[in-house]
Structure 1
Amino acid sequence: MRGCVFLESMPSNATLMDENITLPPICISEDTSRFRYTYRGGLRSAIRVARVVSDIVALNHPNVRWTLCSSVWKRFQVYSCLTELGVGLTHEPGFHQFDVRGNAHGLLAAHPLTPLVSLHHIDHIDPIFPNMTTTKALQHLLHATNVDSQRILQQTICYDRRFSRTVSVSWGYAVQLYDKRIPLPDVLPVPETFRQWKWGNVLAGVYTFNTRKFPPHPCHRPTIFFLDSVCLASMASRLFTRNLMKIACFSWIQRGNSKKSEFSPKLDLDYKQAPRRHCCDVFPTKSDKLLDITIRECGEDELIYMHE
């Protein structure tokens, strides 16, 4: 992946920034002061946003097939500007950021069935892992991303026949354990743990994904096991999660699980066909403190359903 950070002018410490190989290069955006902009309801900053995409294409990097842009281009009607500049866009549903505030757990635990491209407005959401700063939490997520970037946050649902439980896996982030069997259509919608981006707007609570209310009472919520560690062996990974939320209901104390182990092959997405949710199996272990889960591709005609 290549790119650069576009600025209006070169910063005073540009030399020091160029020496830091961990930072992307700096590019100066073209002057747009003479560019006509007659849309009354828009902002002139939209011109510069559009020109940035044109400038990126003009860099003419070799062996580049795609230039990724977020849904912000549509919000500022920038799509039309880019068309006039001769830059073609391909609309890919799901490849965009979600503007939310507060606790983004619900979105991360039930991410839509599309690859994760970016986490947006990090400064407006809580740290994505408990007991960590925002920076440490992101670094923790990157441990899993570096092992299997295409599988990160991919949600898998399976049922524990032994105890009639529902297991929801968000790979690289968390495992949610429901102490009862829940139909698949009721598990997939995103729990609204977050707040809407803008208040008062009639469309503020409307999202591009299905949502469901987050239970206010702790004992009505699933038990959450957050990412602890991940390792790669050959072309498969093993991920360990543990319960960091010390909220215990009576039914949960009886079961006693405190750790989860997940085994999954490295994911290689096929962009020539529509994505399909993977299946998983829950296996019994010698210890009642451990739950072993294996993620795999579903069979050709296999269904994800509650077992009687």
Structure 2
Amino acid sequence: MPSIICSKLNTILSDILNKLFKLLVISGLVLYVVYIIFFNNPCSYSSILTNKAGHNNKGPILHKSSSSTTPTNVSHVVFGIAGSTSTWPNRKCYIESWWRPNITRGYVFFETFPNNNDFHPWPHSSPPFRISEDTSKYKAYDKHLFTQAIRMARLILETFNVEKQGVRWYVLADDDTVFFIDNLVDVLGRYDHDKYFYIGMSSECHASNFYHSFEMGFGGAGYALSYPLAKALVNNLDVCIKRYPTLSSICSSTISPSLIAPPRPSTPNISLHDPKRILYRLMEAAKVDESRLLQQTICYHKPKNWTFSISWGYSVQIYEAVVLPSTLQKPLQTFTPWSKSAMPFFMFNTRIPSNNPCETPHVFFFDSLERKRGGDYLITSYSRGRARALPAACSSSGNHSADSISKIIVLSPSTKYHHIGNRRECCNVLHATRRNATELKLRDCFENEILP
């Protein structure tokens, strides 16, 4: 009896499986036909999928949009600058150092109307100002410890509403940020502005990334949004503020792909946040050649076993030993954390300073710049910052002291420095110790040149 029941059950199960198989085959054929008819038509793709195609597992697609054949220039970029009437008198020098009247586009947004003499008359050298909209209607949703958080979050909306014509990129930043305009335009021009792009860098402070987001472009040094992303964000901003009352940065991540950080080796210096005392000297060099600013060049003088590390427009270091590029590309930590309680402190990959004379450089800071020799070269000079206060020389291997050197002169090509696809530059030591000065000439590395 049990065998008969089992036999009938097997028969029934076999019939069910056969029918299910036929159903799956028919369904598959139907779906295939639908795919052939509809999904091979380029007009049938979802607009969201098309816009997000600028980011995939292999990184961003950098080709230009077919709808915009002209290269990106400064007129395509609009700046939204978060300001405050209380800090502006001390910070306007930052903005005026890079702002180009009648060329750059954008606004400074204040929380209240400026009424004192520090603001009247409003200087032509500063961007026009606007007053941020009243955010009291968000009071029930405002869970931020920082009282200006909602106003800052709405900066993109207010900038977008006043500047739309011909805009490809919106750049948002604080009022104590310095931009290098030509470098910024160069980097933004590598991306397709018709797609959804969110470009910036995470914070230098590990704690800020941990508590807020590793996928957030921190506003201090600025971040950029392509026009389509800015438009989508503006249309959904109020919903985001109400839905995410403690973390408004989520708004952009719900609409766009992940934050894109331009690759460091092929990216010029774009901005600096709160540069303070170095501002004047740095901008003096930037006005002549932004493309080379702070770019590192390494060369060696083997007769004395010296290594030179040049940060163009800022400093030159002499090491009394042959130091490998892999070590020099990791900069010395010459700063302290802004918050002693924020541990671990930094996201930077830095070297801890040493008292070993073979590892501690002589440091020379940017002093002046001039054009000479038919205009083919820029000549920058760097003067010793202070005595190294260490033994006279790195005595091992017969190395020589650099204590007598008081000045470094660097000759660099007057042509723009191209970062993409090129090796880091090399240099020749023309004169090691002439009148207590050393002269270096930057050049392209030779094809088979391996340093040191």
Match of 1:292 in 2: 439
1:227 pairs, out of 366, 378, 388, with 366
Deviates most, 57-66 or 158-167: 57-66
How many angstroms does 1:55 deviate by? 1.9
Q: Residues 31-50 of structure 1: matches in 2 within 5 Å?
A: 31-35=134-138, 38=141, 43=146, 45-50=148-153
What letter is aligned with 1:121? D
1:117 pairs, out of 253, 258, 270, with 270
CA distance in 1, matches of 2:106, 2:448: 41
SS of the counterpart of 1:48? helix
1:199 correspondence with 2:340: yes
Q: Deviations over 1:225-253 (max 9, x none)?
A: 11121013435311011213133542265
SS of the counterpart of 1:221? coil
Q: Residues 70-109 of structure 1: matches in 2 within 5 Å?
A: 71=201, 74=217, 77-82=247-252, 91-93=260-262
TM-score, length-normalised on structure 1?
0.73
8 Å contact kept, 2:109–2:132: yes
Match of 2:322 in 1: 181
Match of 1:250 in 2: 392
CA distance in 2, matches of 1:15, 1:250: 52
Q: Deviations over 1:210-269 (max 9, x none)?
A: 111011467852101111210134353110112131335422657632221111123535
1:265 pairs, out of 413, 422, 439, with 413
Match of 2:451 in 1: 305
CA distance in 2, matches of 1:2, 1:302: 46
1:232–1:210 Cα change, 3 Å: same
How many angstroms does 1:303 deviate by? 4.6
1:159–1:65 Cα change, 3 Å: farther
How many angstroms does 1:61 deviate by? 5.9
How many angstroms does 1:196 deviate by? 1.7
Q: What value does the CA root-mean-square deviation take over the aligned residues?
A: 3.5
Match of 2:156 in 1: 53
What letter is aligned with 1:284? H
How many angstroms does 1:158 deviate by? 1.2
Greater per-residue helix proportion: 2
Q: How many residues align?
A: 273
Match of 1:278 in 2: 425
8 Å contact kept, 1:147–1:231: no
CA distance in 1, matches of 2:171, 2:261: 10
Match of 2:105 in 1: 2
CA distance in 2, matches of 1:48, 1:58: 15
How many angstroms does 1:298 deviate by? 3.1
SS of the counterpart of 2:287? helix
Percent identity reads: 29
How many angstroms does 1:63 deviate by? 5.0
Which structure 1 residue ranges, 5 or more long, are not aligned?
Answer: 96-111, 124-133
Which structure 2 residue ranges, 5 or more long, are not aligned?
Answer: 1-103, 174-200, 204-215, 219-245, 394-399
Match of 2:131 in 1: 28
What letter is aligned with 1:68? V
Q: If you compute each CA radius of gyration, which structure gives the higher value, 1 or 2?
A: 2
How many angstroms does 1:15 deviate by? 9.0
8 Å contact kept, 2:297–2:309: yes
Match of 1:103 in 2: none
8 Å contact kept, 1:17–1:23: no
CA distance in 1, matches of 2:122, 2:111: 20
What letter is aligned with 1:93? P
How many angstroms does 1:54 deviate by? 2.3
What letter is aligned with 1:224? V
What letter is aligned with 1:32? T
1:142 pairs, out of 283, 301, 305, with 283
Match of 1:170 in 2: 311
CA distance in 2, matches of 1:41, 1:25: 29
1:67–1:270 Cα change, 3 Å: farther
Deviates most, 220-229 or 276-285: 276-285
1:149–1:89 Cα change, 3 Å: farther
What letter is aligned with 2:260? H
TM-score, length-normalised on structure 2?
0.52
8 Å contact kept, 2:362–2:402: no
1:211 pairs, out of 350, 356, 361, with 350
8 Å contact kept, 2:368–2:380: yes
